[in-house]
Amino acid sequence: MIGSFRNFAKTKFAGLLVFIMIIPFVFWGMGSMFSSGNTNNIAKINNINISTQDFIDHINKSNIPEKTIRANLDNNIIEELLSTLISSTLLEQEINDLNIIISKKILSKKIKTNKNFFDEDGNFDRIKYEKFLLENNQSAPGFEFRLKDRELQKKLFDYIGAGTSTPNFLAKKMFIEENQKIEVEYINLANFYKKKNEITEKEIKDFLNENEDQLKIEYIDFEYAIINPKNLIGVDEFNQAFFDKIDEIEMNISNNLDLKSILSSSDIKTINVENFRYSQEKSNIEKKIFESKDIKFDIFEDENNYIVYKINKLEKRSPDLSDIDLKNEIIDLISQRNKFNYNKELFDKINNKKFNDNDFVLMGKNNINSLVLNSVRDNKKFEINSVELLYSLPPKSFTLISDEKNNTYLARILKIMTLDRIEDDKKFKEYISKQNSNTRNNILKSYDLLLNEKYNVVLNQKTIERVKNFFR
């Protein structure tokens, strides 16, 4: 099937626990695109259909300018908008299943206690309320419906994450541990690895023999054609006639017709490529075909074109060392293996307590550096996971860590400067709030997984692509 939404479909839906405040306005005429009797659904959730019109209405309510949508098509804005619609539909189902309700009395209280609608004396002002509705092009029933919807969702989330907080004594202990200072000494291991120019021809050949099957390179022969409205139907517009032709091509592909026969009614030329292997320097279209090689005959979207391709041959060959680029790739693999083996040997010594302070000093000689980490979030030198590892170890410990550039270091924890008390009460309160929020989010993530199992979401790829192409 066509479409960049394929991976999204595999995950069923994205960003489930999302809800947005929506303000309706008059859209710029997108509805006419589907007014000619096209009633295709864009998605289905169990037995609930989400029609194309439902999605159009949702886009109308999003208050996102057309130019913003156009500018972000390649950033999956259509997919994100569909995700929020699916999310709200799922949440509505959950609310119904759990029989969560909001009374008219509570809704009325929510409105009457909204400070935006207060007069100078702090009382609810009906005129201010009506003015707000008028300025935002809303009716009272419409506003109250959306308010009810938001309050029901909030009640659902409160129901799921109720009573989740970290005990104060535990939060205090964690805060102190995470904000104490650690003095670390470290040695850059780059100088201990075998250099690439020191790798011999024998090592290369031995490596190839040991990993012959894994190192074989895939080559493909294929043909493809670039299709757009101009070369398919003679116009520049992505209209219904163009998509009808695309549907026809898809049908012919499923019937495994010859590519040239499929394109025989047009002047579209096919491009033949032989002995193709993947490389970053290759064209994007040809790389995409290679990445999709498991599907022998298919069509996909690429920017403002559609690409139809057919794989004619696929084979695996042993690397040709006369190819300098290939040889360098092999040398890189050997170099990585050598680094791994060196690191593993060193780590095993540390783990088996066969590495001590004297070994560290001898190894470092004049290349031992030091720094002070101010908290578990201090990643100015090492990447954050390495910092967290250091904070989990006792003084005088050795370990291997890395930085953001994947350089590896042997580190020794020289000393830990423990906090005796919490000096910044504001900082501690912020920490507690964050911990409670993290706990709540973890619960919601678990709930998200539960809903993934509970609901089956099916997406209509063709309709999604047509919506996207409308904005192009």
The tens digit of pLDDT for each residue in 345-380 reads 999 999 999 999 999 999 998 889 999 998 888 999
Q: Rounded distance, CA 383 to CA 385, Å?
A: 6
For residue 459, the cross-strand partners are 43
pLDDT value for 29 = 37
Using 50, 70 and 90 to split pLDDT, how confident is the model at 36? very low
User: Among residues 387, 356, 385, 357, which one has the least CA distance to residue 371?
Assistant: 387
Which pLDDT score is estimated for 312? 95
Q: What is the pLDDT of residue 452?
A: 65
Question: What distances in angstroms separate CA 126 from CA 115, 266, 366, 387, 410, one per listed residue?
Answer: 12, 66, 78, 57, 69
Report the pLDDT value the prediction gives residue 232, as an integer from 0 to 100.
Answer: 94
- pLDDT on residue 162: 56
The pLDDT score that the predictor gives to residue 437 is 65
Q: Which residue has the higher pLDDT, 16 or 408?
A: 408
Reported pTM: 0.49
Confidence at residue 445, expressed as pLDDT on a 0 to 100 scale: 65
Q: Residues 107-125: what's their mean pLDDT?
A: 87
Determine how many CB atoms are found less than 10 A away from the CB of residue 259: 20
Minimum mean pLDDT among 108-117, 141-150, 182-191, 198-207: which range?
141-150
What is the Cβ-side half-sphere exposure of residue 415, based on CA atoms within 13 angstroms?
Answer: 3
Q: What is the rounded CA–CA span in Å between residue 377 and residue 181?
A: 11
Per the structure block, which two tokens stand in for 205?
Answer: 């050949």
40-44, 165-169, 451-455, range with the lowest pLDDT = 165-169
Q: How many Cβ atoms from other residues are within 10 Å of residue 256's Cβ? A: 9
Q: What percent of the chain has pLDDT over 70?
A: 83
Report the alpha-carbon distance of residue 65 to residue 293 in Å, rounded: 38
| Beta-bridge partners for 185 | 370, 412
The answer to whether the beta carbons of residues 411 and 184 sit under 8 Å apart is yes
Q: How far apart are the first and last CA of the chain?
A: 20
Residue 14 has pLDDT above 60, yes or no: no
**pLDDT tens digits, one per residue of 307-353:** 999 999 999 988 888 889 889 989 999 999 999 999 999 999 999 99
pLDDT in tens, 138-178: 888 888 888 888 888 777 777 665 555 666 666 677 777 77
Written as six digits, the tokens of 139 are 């009716």
Helices (H), ranges, 292-418: 324-351, 357-364, 384-391
Distance CA 381, CA 401 (A): 11
Spatial separation of the C-alpha atoms in residues 75 and 59, rounded to whole Å: 16
Band of residue 25 on the pLDDT scale cut at 50, 70, 90: very low
Cβ neighbours of 12 (radius 10 Å): 18
Please check whether residue 226 is in contact with residue 285, taking contact to mean a CB–CB distance below 8 angstroms: yes
C-alpha 22: how far from chain center: 24
